[in-house]
Amino acid sequence: MIAALLTGLVALIHVYIVILEMVWWDTPRGHKAFGLTPEFAARSKVLAANQGLYNGFLVAGLVWGLWLGAEGFAIKLFFLACVLTAGLFGAATASRKILYIQALPAALAIAALLARI
């Protein structure tokens, strides 16, 4: 139950990231979330939308695993590992706050999933 809730939370966080990257990138909300200037946001909008699409695939995989229930164990583990890896890479290369927003929730969900709680 806890693993399902944490996996759902990771999926919801990524839904929000998808919206930020694909819809709100070139708005004051997107500028604030990612520390962007309006000029940079305008120039990088297409790249951000592409990145948002990939985050959408993570959401789809997590939701798929949740929908399958216990049979989705390997799918949830795979997609949570992808989120964790992306979060660690993002924290190392872009912003340390990604460690707490993306990587930590994924790590907690993985731990709960492996503990089968």
CB atoms within 10 A of CB 83: 27
Percent of residues, the chain, with pLDDT higher than 90: 98
For residues 78 and 61, is the Cβ–Cβ distance under 8 A?
A: yes
String of DSSP letters for 83-101: HHHHHHHHHHHT-THHIII
Quote the mean pLDDT of the chain: 96
Percent of residues, the chain, with pLDDT higher than 70: 100
In the predicted structure, residue 60 carries a pLDDT above the cut 80: yes
The predicted pLDDT at position 117 comes to 76
